[in-house]
Amino acid sequence: MLKISLFLIFWSFVALNVNSVRVCNSFISYFNVLGCDCYNNIDDTLNVTEILRRWKFTAEEHRITTPDGYTILLSRAYTSLTRNSQPVVLGHGMFSNSMSFVYNGNNSLAYNLGLLGYDVWLVNFRGTRYSRGHRNLTTSDPKYWDFSFHQLGTLDLGAALTYITRITTKKSVYIGYSTGTTVSYVYASTRPVDAGTTLKGIISLAPIGYIDGGLPFQKYFDPVISFIKRIIYRLLRGEVLKRNLILNQGMKTMAFTPITMFVAQAILGVFGGFDFSQMDPLTYPVFLTNVFDSAGVNLLEHADQLRKTGNFQWYDYGNEGNLARYGSPTPPPYRLNLIPVPVTMYVGRNDRVALEKPAQKTYTEIANRFRNGFNMMNNTRWNHFDFITSKNLKTELYKALVETVRSMFLLK
Ligand SMILES: *[C@@H]1O[C@H](CO)[C@@H](O)[C@H](O)[C@H]1NC(C)=O
Ligand SMILES: *[C@@H]1O[C@H](CO)[C@@H](O)[C@H](O)[C@H]1NC(C)=O
Ligand SMILES: *[C@@H]1O[C@H](CO)[C@@H](O)[C@H](O)[C@H]1NC(C)=O
Ligand SMILES: *[C@@H]1O[C@H](CO)[C@@H](O)[C@H](O)[C@H]1NC(C)=O
């Protein structure tokens, strides 16, 4: 035990002093000090724009302001822009930002879409690393963190898609991952007229609308969730997993050896499903150091409400709050049957967050003529994170995904 502790302290110390993470072609090579198939992966130290430019893409930063005052960053990337370039918009998951779509070298989704000539737009939802501005609030103000999936969908995604349609004068295909799918259902069902003018279609990776069951131990949080929420507001103003020096160095330490990387994967596996087989030794360290981001605690609470009630519904403010806002003691449901564009879903068989059954339920509430495909991933080990981390992304996902994107743009 002592030896292991000393070993970990030693590695932490070394990790504290390196700038970019060292990666190797195989996990075995990490143990070879002279490893000649190892190099520093500089993506660890770059921001999204810098990575896009490293690929020789043209990258633009567009800052827009939502109706309720949040400034969010849209990154735009393309190899060459023509009159025919079609916009594809990518929406990230919770505890992350648009880095999810660029950190993964040439397995990155943005990279693969850009190479095909698409005009790629990356949304960064409020409160994440690149989208922390507000007209008159700061992130240390608890009011700043008072938002749920509803605001991310109606206001952030709404403002982003309106803006993108104005700039490109075209309708987009939206690809969401995890929470990025939830907010697209919120947007398209509450603003169907707008969605009909901004969107060609919606593609969902690890779709989350209905949440049935949830994690095995999640129900134990029910009695204490409002208590936890109060504590988080008191101590952290409402922001969970804020990036600070300790967290950054902790992640760097995790990223330093295959052993700690596998430990990290095991911890994440509790939440998202275990899959050690598709970890990519060349990029997994960067996933650990550069992809995680903070989230507002109300998002977690909203997710818990969906799980507890079994409904896909607006944020629950409690009886009185609901009466004041919605005119009824319970929140209204999101009416998925109002979504006015085709929706295609990709679901992992080993995903413990976006489960097959609730995804199926979400899918079947969409109007029949807009159900454009419900696809289970063929690789049985595919977990929640594999949609952005798998080393097999090109063969297992992008081949089919790109075909779906292409066909959506062809639809009238
Ligand atoms: C990313 O880095 C570039 C170059 O250092 C900088 O100009 C840009 O403002 C950064 N973007 C963001 C969103 O932080
Ligand atoms: C993809 O990444 C691998 C590993 O970094 C590299 O060897 C290869 O050249 C890259 N391919 C392209 C087309 O960039
Ligand atoms: C922020 O400014 C807007 C008007 O620009 C105002 O309506 C709102 O009450 C302000 N919010 C706070 C928290 O000061
Ligand atoms: C799964 O395999 C089938 C048959 O080869 C293929 O048509 C389908 O596109 C694959 N699914 C995905 C998500 O790639």
- Residue 11 placed within a domain: no
| Dist CA 227 CA 304 (whole Å) | 14
Residue-wise pLDDT for 324-334, tens only, equals 999 999 999 99
Residue 13 lies in a domain: no
The domain of 159 spans 46-410
Rounded distance from Cα 107 to ligand 2 centre (Å): 9
Residue 41 makes CB contacts below 8 A (sequence gap 6+) with: 20, 21, 22, 23, 105, 282, 283, 285, 286
Catalytic residues: 178, 351, 384
All residue ranges of the chain with pLDDT < 70 are 1-19, 35, 213-218
Instruction: Give me the CATH number covering residue 375.
Output: 3.40.50.1820
Classify residue 35: in a domain, yes or no.
no
Atom of ligand 4 nearest to the CA of 377: 13
Q: Which residues partner with 123 through β-bridges?
A: 74, 91
The pLDDT of residue 35: 65
pTM listed for this prediction: 0.93
Burial class (CB in 10 A: 0-12, 13-18, 19+), 221: middle
Return phi, psi of residue 259, to 5°: -60, -50
| Residue 2 domain-assigned (yes or no) | no
Which pLDDT belongs to residue 226? 80
Can you tell me the distance from the alpha carbon of 169 to that of 200, in angstroms, rounded to the nearest whole number? 13
Residue 105 CA: nearest ligand 2 atom is: 2
Q: Is residue 404 in some structural domain?
A: yes
pLDDT on residue 152? 98
Q: What's residue 1's pLDDT?
A: 63
Residue to mutate (ligand 3; options 71, 134, 135; most atoms within 8 A of CB): 135
In a domain, 25, yes or no: no
Report yes or no on 40 lying in a domain: no
Domain count, the chain: 1
Whether residue 403 is contained in a domain is answered as yes
What is the number of the ligand closest to the CA of 61?
1
The predicted structure's pLDDT at residue 14: 60
Ligand 3 mean position, distance from CA 136 (Å): 6
